[in-house]
Amino acid sequence: MTNQNKVEWTIEKLVQLLEKDLLSVYSNKSKIDNSQPEFVPLLDEHTNIINTIRHTLKNARVESCQEGVFFIIAFLDLSDHQIDKTLLEIVCSFLANDQLLIDSLSLSHNLFCSETAPLMSLLETNQSIRKLDLSNNDLGPLTLKKFAVLLKKSNQTLEEINFDSTKLGTNSFLLLTGFLISNKTLTRFSALNNFDKIDVNSLLHLYQLIKNNKLMVEFKISDPNNFNEEENNVWKKITTIFEKNKINHTKINQEKRINKLLVIQRKKLKIKKRFEKSQKQSVQNEKLDNFQFDENKVFIKSKTFDQQSDNVKKKEKEKKEEKEKEKEKEEDKEKEKEIIVEEKKVSTTMNEKKRNEIKLASDDHDVDNEEDSEEEDSEEEIEGGKTENDENNLESSDDSDTQSLSDNKKNDNSDNNETKEKIFIDEWEKSGFQIDKQDYQKFEKQNKNHIKRLLQTSNNFKKLYSLSFPNKKIN
């Protein structure tokens, strides 16, 4: 998994946890009221909260390490999201995650009123929030007491707080001075539109408190244009202190602060992982301690396991037998193919031998016929001087002999012609052509002397065949 995919996965995981928490609240309400179904869709308020948190996480600075992924958020704006008491609990529990390091948080224009207990618990544990905006909420004077206690005991990171138009009331000015006495980290404070009128005595009291303070840089209570001359004089003294503090005030480098927070958060995550592992081991040990051994159950399970193993073995055997049968079939097919090839080779050799024998026999027969014709011609020349009677007598005797010889020659010639036809047709079919016996006989009459030569060259045969039979085509 790449770094980017890891970041996206953690974002979606965090958002899913928040969605589950939001749905659980309304699912419990629906069970009590029996008015809504089991599946409750999120409201528009909840979707807005989820979308803003997802957007801020995507745009946040990311620091990844072996312990996990940390999101450094510069500003989280949850103002005007109609956050009431229940939503404030869910949001604060989500922001208390160790993977989130928030610099400034805005919760202005919401509906949680003076019920700020979940926010106080978040600020006790969180060590990253420096700026907090709670303006335009009906908080009341009790919130100042809570913040004063918080700044004394636990929180040491808040530097800026905004209480503008939170209905603190005119009588809560003394509470504000007590709030400033416990200050060790605040540099900017604003509480406009809360106090109707501020007396000179209250301003002098405030001056004595801030006189020795070297942290406060900005302090807003009301518009100085509404003060009298005496009040303006006191207010000028207070502003001179703030100006001196601005010159002397040195801010800690932001990167150093973030690195310190990352070290702290890594240690927390390590401790959490160890604690979770120890809890899992303790649960497993409890299960082993409470485990009761039942012989019957174990015997039944062993039987089922043996049956399953036997079935697996049977299936494996069947598969092996099928494979062996297939191999045997393939081997038999290969053997049959080899036998057929050998038979073809033997048949071709036998046919060639027979054809050669037939050719030799035909050649010998032609030589004998030629010798007989030459002897007859010589005899006729020698017997030319004999008498006509002798010739007639001889002719009568020769006719009988010649008839018998001609009959024998005809029989021999018919056998030779049939063998020639077979040889010619077989050899011609080997070359890829087909021919009928009738066509061969016609062709033989026309081309007696050229048949042997034409058998050697197929191209000459094609030309001569096409001349003799122009209407027919060679296949």
CATH of the domain at 162: 3.80.10.10
By residue range, what is the domain housing residue 475?
413-475
Q: What was the pLDDT predicted at 382?
A: 46
Q: What is the pLDDT of residue 441?
A: 66
pLDDT at 131: 93
Higher-confidence position of 134 and 33: 134
Q: Which of 270, 303, 319 is the last residue of a domain?
A: 270
In-domain check, residue 96: yes
| pLDDT of 97 above 80 | yes
Model confidence band, residue 37 (pLDDT cutoffs 50, 70, 90):
very low
**Angle made by CA atoms 410, 411, 412, in degrees to the nearest 5:** 90
Domain stop point among 242, 270, 298? 270
In a domain, 349, yes or no: no
H helix or E strand, kind and range, residue 333: helix 295-382
* pLDDT for the residue 293: 46
Neighbour-count burial of 169, counting CB atoms closer than 10 A to its CB (0-12 exposed, 13-18 middle, 19+ buried): middle
pLDDT, average across residues 312-338: 87
Tell me which of 85 and 362 has the higher pLDDT: 85
pLDDT value at residue 60: 92
Mean pLDDT is lowest, of 20-24, 91-95, 143-147, 293-297, for 293-297
Residue 35 has pLDDT above 50, yes or no: no
Q: Is residue 320 part of a domain?
A: no
Provide the CA 228 distance to its chain's centre, in angstroms.
74
**Mean pLDDT over residues 250-272, rounded?**
78
The last residue of one of the domains, among 270, 304, 328, is: 270
User: 391 pLDDT band (50/70/90 cuts)?
Assistant: very low
Give the β-pairing of 160-162 and 69-77: unpaired
pLDDT at 91: 92
State the pLDDT at residue 459.
58
Q: What is the pLDDT of residue 243?
A: 85
From 225-229, 309-313, 360-364, 459-463, the region with the lowest mean pLDDT: 459-463
The first and second tokens of residue 135, run together, are 């303006």
Q: What is the pLDDT of residue 34?
A: 46
Q: What is the pLDDT of residues 151-178, one digit of tens each?
A: 878 778 888 999 998 988 777 777 777 6
pLDDT of residue 36 exceeding 50: no
Q: Residue 224 domain-assigned? A: no
Q: What's the domain count of the chain?
A: 2
Q: What is the pLDDT of residues 74-92, one digit of tens each?
A: 999 999 988 988 889 999 9
**Taking 50 as the threshold, does the pLDDT of residue 55 lie above it?**
yes
What backbone torsions phi and psi does residue 160 show, to the nearest 5 degrees?
Answer: -135, 130
- Residue 135: which pLDDT band, with cuts at 50, 70 and 90? very high
Residue 375 lies in a domain: no
**Angle CA(358)–CA(364)–CA(366) in degrees, nearest 5?**
105
102 phi/psi in degrees, rounded to 5: -100, 135
Residue 123 maps to a domain:
yes
Q: What is the pLDDT of residues 208-254, one digit of tens each?
A: 888 877 788 888 887 777 788 888 888 888 888 888 887 766 555 67
Which has the minimum average pLDDT: 87-96, 208-217, 294-303, 348-357? 294-303
In the DSSP assignment, the letter for residue 171 is G
Tokens of residue 281, six digits: 């081991």
Q: Are 72 and 258 in contact (CB under 8 A)?
A: yes
Buried b (16+ CB within 10 A) or exposed e, 288-297: eeeeeeeeee
Higher pLDDT, 358 or 46: 46
Q: What percent of the chain has pLDDT over 70?
A: 66
pLDDT at 297: 53
Residue ranges of the alpha helices (H) in 62-132?
85-95, 117-125
Q: How far apart are CA 378 and CA 400, in angstroms?
A: 20
The whole-number pLDDT of residue 456 equals 55
Burial 423-452 (b: 16+ CB within 10 A, else e): bbbeebeeeeeebeeeebeebeeebeeeee
pLDDT of 331 reads: 87
Is the pLDDT higher at 154 or at 408? 154
Higher pLDDT, 128 or 415: 128
Q: What is the pLDDT of residue 270?
A: 82
Q: What is the pTM of this model?
A: 0.57
- 75 within a domain of the structure (yes/no): yes
Contact 72, 60 (CB under 8 A): yes
Which amino acid is present at 149? Answer: V
Q: Is 315 part of a structural domain of the chain?
A: no
**Interval 389-407 mean pLDDT:** 48
Query: Residue range 291-316: average pLDDT?
Result: 66
pLDDT at residue 352, rounded to an integer: 78
| Confidence at residue 394, expressed as pLDDT on a 0 to 100 scale | 40
pLDDT value at residue 364? 61
The first and second tokens of residue 244, run together, are 């001196």
